[in-house]
């Protein structure tokens, strides 16, 4: 599958490398739910910059990923939504609740850091 999965401290980073078929999207969803548990990850970042279409199916899968990982004790941030993809999603009126999104990987990591280590100065 064309998704690179990296581990960065207590975070799992899934970086999608190319357009995915529906079946690959479902496989990714299942894989990430497992992986978050196996690695005892506290945060998950899904980088969708390589996706040039996010339709209702992909949006639903991303939402499911976020909800599932939350039940497994981790927070999810989606990063890298392309500007034209964002326009299409808004015009389509895709509901992404309760997804958290950030511009890029750096910002995604900052959001997770803030969420998970709120108030502890020597966090990480």
Partner 1 sequence: MRDEVRVTIGADEDLVSARAEARALADHLGFSRTDATLIATAISEIARNIVVHVGTGEIVLRAIEDERRRGLAVIAHDAGPGIRDVQAALRDGYAGDSGLGLGLPGARRLMDEFEIVSEPGCGTTVTMTKWHMLDELEMLRERRRRG
Residues that bind partner 1 (CB under 8 A): 19-23, 52-57, 60, 82-85, 87-88, 91-94
Give 41 or 51: the residue with its C-beta nearer to partner 1. 51
DSSP 42: S
Query: For the sheet containing 11-16, what is the strand order?
Result: 3-8, 11-16, 43-47, 75-79, 101-102
Other beta carbons less than 10 A from residue 77's beta carbon:
24
Longest pairwise C-alpha distance within the chain: 43
Give 30 or 52: the residue with its C-beta nearer to partner 1. 52
Collapsing DSSP to helix, strand or coil, 10 comes out as coil
Q: How far is the CB of 95 from partner 1 (least distance, A)?
A: 8
Cβ contacts of 119 within 8 Å, gap of 6 or more:
none
Q: How far is the CB of 4 from partner 1 (least distance, A)?
A: 19
Give 91 or 120: the residue with its C-beta nearer to partner 1. 91
Q: How far is the CB of 46 from partner 1 (least distance, A)?
A: 18
Q: How far is the CB of 61 from partner 1 (least distance, A)?
A: 10
DSSP 36: H
Give 83 or 121: the residue with its C-beta nearer to partner 1. 83
């Amino acid at each position: 599958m064309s998704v690179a999965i990296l581990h960065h401290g207590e975070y799992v980073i899934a970086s999608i490398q190319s357009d995915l078929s529906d079946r690959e999207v479902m496989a990714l969803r299942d894989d990430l739910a497992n992986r978050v548990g196996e690695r005892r990850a506290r945060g998950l970042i899904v980088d969708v910059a390589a996706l040039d279409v996010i339709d209702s199916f992909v949006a639903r899968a991303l939402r499911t990923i976020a909800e599932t990982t939350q039940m497994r004790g981790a927070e999810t941030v989606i990063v890298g939504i392309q500007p034209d993809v964002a326009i299409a999603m808004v015009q389509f009126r895709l509901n992404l609740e309760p997804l958290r999104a950030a511009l890029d990987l750096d910002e995604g990591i900052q959001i997770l850091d803030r969420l998970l280590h709120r108030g502890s100065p020597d966090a990480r």
